[in-house]
Structure 1
Amino acid sequence: MAPRKRRPTNVQADPELLLKMFTTVARARALEDALALHIRDHGFAGFWHPGKGQEGAVAGACAALRTDDYLFYQGRGATWPLAKGMGLQPIIGDLLGRVTGSTGGKGAGVPHWADPALGIMGEGATLGSVYPLAAGAALSAKMRGTDQVALADFGDGTSHRGTFHETLIQAASWKLPLIYFCENNGLSVSTRFDDVSPTPNVADRASAYGIPGVVVDGHDAVEVHRVTAEAVERARAGEGPTLIEAKVTRVGGHWEGDAQQYRPADFLKDYQDPLEVLRTYLGDDRAETADKIVADAVAEVAEELHRAEAADLPDPQIIMKDVFV
């Protein structure tokens, strides 16, 4: 276990918010660990891209959003739908291609969780599609006169796509209620970010579009929540987009089973486990509560995984369901 991060003495986090984020990260971590074992023991219908180590950034960001705010996520880990309010069974059911999944079994392997009632709008067909899709949702909110915001989550590798720039220049010009949220784990599959980016931070590019660019420690959900809440407030006020870059650690490989021969042996030497960081914020007086949350999360995930394994596979005709033409 990584050493616990010392809790900043100048931060007064809301106790209810802390418990909410800790619970989200605990459930996400339990799911990550259970899936790793399931894949090892049973195989998998598709590639699973683990998000272990990045859960805190996601929990902090989602805690700043409302249910009716739009979320467009990248396909690493399962914290985004979980933090936005989706139950474990729709998440696991999709991963195993069962009818209990949020897409009824169409999202097996690489997931495409979706539930518009929760603002979870699914994942695009290619990495980089989140930008115009999220901007379209933000434009819709602006045209309808609501104060909803749209969040586009992406990795550092995807920040090099043309859609990043094409969308952001228009969104900044129109002051769309859009948040670009980058989970920068420093690796695009096996390519180091530092080797391919002319700037040390993705957020440095924000100045070219006249919008704020913020770099935050993605292991610290409290700090991520703070900066995301500021971006949300700015967007709701009609002041336009913000680019947030959360520096995170991808503890596992690009996919489950990746040998990671491209990484040095000590790559985790400065890693701070986001679950333990949140535990320090909770303090010693709530240690038993934290332990119970973790234990309950492990038990809940085990139960829901067993339930998903026992669920039916979809009829092949489901592929034609929800198709417009």
Structure 2
Amino acid sequence: MVTRDVRRRLYREILRVALWEGRLLRFIEEGRTSGFYHAGRGQEATAVGATAVLRQDDYLLYDHRGMGHAITKGVPIDRLFGDFLGTTQGTTGGLGAGIVHIAWPEVGVLGQSGTLGGSFPIAAGAGLSIRHRNTDQVVLCFFGDGAANRGTFHEAANAAALWKLPVIWLCENNGYAVSVPAAEALSVPQVADRAAAYGMPGEVVDGMDPDAVYTAVAAAVDRARAGAGPTLIEAMTYRFRGHYEGDPTNYRTAEELAAWQARDPLTTYPERMLQAGDATREWLQATHDEVAAEIEEAATVALCGEKPGPSRILQHVYA
């Protein structure tokens, strides 16, 4: 059940993710970052709704679209800024030159693979480690509709189902693999249709609805903790910006974008909360102000970071 307290947490996290990304885009516009960023604006409800279900000791493998998963799981936001700024205060200590592939084991974030689809076998391996250690942890693995066609997905999905590993596969289907429409790349109408081939449940949810995502993932997590194995969830969502910053997006229409923007959880979710009596306009405004101040403070801290010296290249190198 999605209670008032859960809804308030979901809204706050959606707001944190969106405002954090907006501040990062300002860094990019100011020429402070050297990295390549794939914005997640529009997909916050899926990233937040799914990740909010997890415990701190559960594992997360996020995809490359935005940082909503990592932020919701508890990675410090000033350190994430530091990663994009390439400073020693980042989670990687200045490695990566602003191209972020971070891990934060303190809260179970195992990172993402530098190769598209590489997270699938890592997620299955983490699930296998849970089985061997006999804990009730789970693994949540995010991926896009494009990555769903990689061979690593099918190998990992088969192994997870065969051994009943506690893995939740979460496909963020935003309709495009870079510029290729999902309908031209998938052999079935939905990615979730493939779940039956591996003997695990598959479900399609509204990825613009935090409640729907939270409810579906909560059920899958309960199933995994009980030893019943993996679940494949496909959240139908949309990215409001290009595949990358600078993408001309001439492969989609303005009408299509406008139709999805009308479902933006940043505007629709607080209205739903107001109608349900889960929030007041005063609470919404106060929450916005608190989050905005938190983001600006984190940005200020991150800007004080230092660039790593030449000796950084020799750290963690073993022969």
Q: TM-score, normalised by structure 2?
A: 0.94
Would the aligned equivalents of 1:94 and 1:101 in 2 still touch at CA under 8 Å? yes
Deviation of 1:290 (Å): 1.4
Question: Aligned letter for 1:283?
Answer: L
What does residue 162 of structure 1 align with? Answer: 151
Would the aligned equivalents of 2:33 and 2:86 in 1 still touch at CA under 8 Å? no
Query: Where do residues 262-273 of structure 1 align in structure 2 (5 Å cutoff)?
Result: 262-271=251-260, 272-273=263-264
Deviation of 1:112 (Å): 1.6
Question: Aligned letter for 1:312?
Answer: E
Other structure's SS at 2:288 match:
helix
Deviation of 1:187 (Å): 0.7
Deviation of 1:324 (Å): 5.6
Question: Aligned letter for 2:282?
Answer: E
Instruction: Say if 1:322 and 1:195 are closer, same or farther in 2 by CA, change over 3 A.
Output: same
Report the Cα distance in structure 1 between the residues aligned to 2:211 and 2:313, rounded to whole angstroms. Answer: 41
What does residue 116 of structure 1 align with? Answer: 105
Tell me, yes or no, if structure 1 residue 256 matches structure 2 residue 245. yes
Deviation of 1:276 (Å): 2.2
Give a deviation string over 1:124-177, Cα, whole Å, max 9, x none: 121101100011011000011000111111011000100000111111000000
Deviation of 1:34 (Å): 1.7
Flag structure 1 segments of 5+ consecutive residues without an equivalent. Answer: 1-11
Report the Cα distance in structure 2 between the residues aligned to 1:54 and 1:188, rounded to whole angstroms. Answer: 15
What does residue 308 of structure 1 align with? Answer: 302
Moved runs in structure 1, 4+ residues, more than 6 A? none
- Of residues 273, 279, 283, the one that matches 2:270 is 279
Give a deviation string over 1:93-151, Cα, whole Å, max 9, x none: 11111111111111443212211110011111211011000110110000110001111
Question: Aligned letter for 2:267?
Answer: E
Deviation of 1:46 (Å): 1.5
Give a deviation string over 1:278-305, Cα, whole Å, max 9, x none: 2133216522211222222223222322
Question: Aligned letter for 1:300?
Answer: E
Query: Where do residues 134-153 of structure 1 align in structure 2 (5 Å cutoff)?
Result: 134-153=123-142
Query: Where do residues 175-186 of structure 1 align in structure 2 (5 Å cutoff)?
Result: 175-186=164-175
Would the aligned equivalents of 1:102 and 1:113 in 2 still touch at CA under 8 Å? yes
Give a deviation string over 1:60-83, Cα, whole Å, max 9, x none: 111111110000111111111110
Tell me, yes or no, if structure 1 residue 317 matches structure 2 residue 308. no
Other structure's SS at 1:216 match:
strand
The total of aligned residue pairs comes to 314
Other structure's SS at 1:180 match:
strand
Flag structure 2 segments of 5+ consecutive residues without an equivalent. Answer: none
Report the Cα distance in structure 2 between the residues aligned to 1:179 and 1:149, rounded to whole angstroms. Answer: 8
Would the aligned equivalents of 1:48 and 1:109 in 2 still touch at CA under 8 Å? no
Give a deviation string over 1:25-54, Cα, whole Å, max 9, x none: 101110122222222232530111100000
What does residue 215 of structure 1 align with? Answer: 204
Question: Aligned letter for 2:71?
Answer: L
Report the Cα distance in structure 2 between the residues aligned to 1:283 and 1:316, rounded to whole angstroms. Answer: 54
Tell me, yes or no, if structure 1 residue 238 matches structure 2 residue 238. no
Q: TM-score, normalised by structure 1?
A: 0.92
Would the aligned equivalents of 1:219 and 1:277 in 2 still touch at CA under 8 Å? no
Tell me, yes or no, if structure 1 residue 290 matches structure 2 residue 284. yes
Report the Cα distance in structure 2 between the residues aligned to 1:259 and 1:77, rounded to whole angstroms. Answer: 18
Give the % identical residues.
43
Report the Cα distance in structure 1 between the residues aligned to 2:57 and 2:317, rounded to whole angstroms. Answer: 24
Other structure's SS at 2:258 match:
coil
Report the Cα distance in structure 2 between the residues aligned to 1:141 and 1:290, rounded to whole angstroms. Answer: 39
What does residue 29 of structure 2 align with? Answer: 40
Would the aligned equivalents of 1:112 and 1:123 in 2 still touch at CA under 8 Å? yes
